[in-house]
Amino acid sequence: MQLIPGLYIVATPIGNLADVSDRAKAVLASADLIAVEDSRVTGKLLNLLGLKRPMLPYHDHNGDRVRPGLIARMASEIIVLVSDAGTPLISDPGYKLVREAREAGRLVTTIPGPCAAVAALTLAGLPTDRFFFLGFLPAKDKAKRDAIDEVKAIRATLVLYESGPRLPATLKLLADLMGEREAAVAREITKAFEETVTGTLTTLADHYAEGGPKGEIVIIIGPPGEAPPADDDDVEAALRKALVTLPPAKAAGEVARALGADRKALYARAMELKSQ
Ligand code: SAM
């Protein structure tokens, strides 16, 4: 394939090798150099495709150092950017390379393809007209809480990447801070054990309370107000549960926020329950 020199951003499969496009294969085959996250991972892909091309690691730790060389070579060569899986730049390195390639007047083009965030959106059965991609939440508890608080009122479907071991704690925190929102956990998309579990954040937190499943995961959360309002029995049960560990005012506040119920009425009921 005769290509114009420049930067080619190539999406690769997120599990199923058959998802690699003909165009992706052709561009990889024509590459003078492939900028990769991990040469072992991309080496395996190239091997499966029957290709052998030079690779150069490009990631957060060496990006500043190797970028100028890549930009220079794009003037006369086919430079391809891939990530370990899926679409480069989506929770993966690459935006500075694209920005600086443009600034240098290089051709920048894309060979689009698999992306876990978009694939999960198509599986969840939640509104897709407006969605907000969060990538990975921070690992540390306080930063994670702050990040959730920051986005919980956004009137859009939320998309998050997560790992199996962290899933139970993340779902619990999302349920605590966001309340009864419809959600889905999409796992191992396009792989042998692909599975999508739907429910509310609370039912999903319960479902995975015993331990995180294996594999790669996307969490999708419907916009606020999409879940049906909690009925009186649910509110009463939540209040009784909260009162086991919290004083009445706090318990009423938490349940009111989580289930969208009236705080004053809940406080009165909490005091009644406490005095029984
Ligand atoms: N750039 C990639 C893309 O286009 O999806 C995402 C890279 S990010 C470093 C890796 C995360 O994507 C995983 O931790 C997981 O949350 C999600 N992911 C990747 N492949 C997946 C799959 N097959 N099923 C579910 N989630 C996946």
pLDDT in tens, 41-66: 999 999 999 999 999 999 999 999 99
Mean pLDDT over the full length of the chain: 95
235 vs 109, which has greater pLDDT?
A: 109
Degrees, nearest 5: CA angle 116-117-118: 95
The answer on pLDDT for 254 being more than 90 is no
Burial of 221: CB neighbours in 10 Å, binned 0-12, 13-18, 19+: buried
Q: What is the CA radius of gyration of the chain?
A: 23
Q: Give the ligand 1 atom nearest the CA of 90.
A: 1
Copy the structure tokens of residue 268. 């009165």
Mean pLDDT value across residues 235-259 = 86
The answer on pLDDT for 257 being more than 80 is no
**Is residue 228 very low, low, confident or very high in pLDDT (cuts 50, 70, 90)?**
low
**Is residue 256 very low, low, confident or very high in pLDDT (cuts 50, 70, 90)?**
confident
Residue 217 Cβ < 6 Å to ligand 1: yes
Judged by DSSP in three states, 144 sits in helix
The answer on pLDDT for 106 being more than 70 is yes
pLDDT score, position 229 = 63
- Global pTM reads 0.83
- Going by their DSSP bridges, the two strands 216-221 and 182-187 should be labelled as antiparallel
Contacts of 208 (CB under 8 A, 6+ apart): 167, 168, 171, 185
Residue 24 Cβ < 6 Å to ligand 1: no
User: Could you read off the pLDDT of 111-152 as tens digits, one per residue?
Assistant: 999 999 999 999 999 999 999 999 999 999 999 999 999 999
Residue 35 Cβ < 6 Å to ligand 1: no
Residue 37 Cβ < 6 Å to ligand 1: no
Judged by DSSP in three states, 167 sits in helix
Residue 21 Cβ < 6 Å to ligand 1: no
User: Could you read off the pLDDT of 192-210 as tens digits, one per residue?
Assistant: 999 999 999 999 999 999 9
Residue 91 Cβ < 6 Å to ligand 1: yes
DSSP class of 17: G
pLDDT score, position 226 = 47
pLDDT score, position 204 = 98
Q: Length of the chain, please?
A: 276
- Cα 187 to averaged position of ligand 1 atoms, centre (Å): 9
- Cα 216 to averaged position of ligand 1 atoms, centre (Å): 6
Q: Give the ligand 1 atom nearest the CA of 160.
A: 16
- Cα 116 to averaged position of ligand 1 atoms, centre (Å): 5
pLDDT score, position 225 = 87
pLDDT score, position 112 = 98
- Quick check: 33 and 79 in contact, CB under 8 A? yes
Residue 87 Cβ < 6 Å to ligand 1: yes
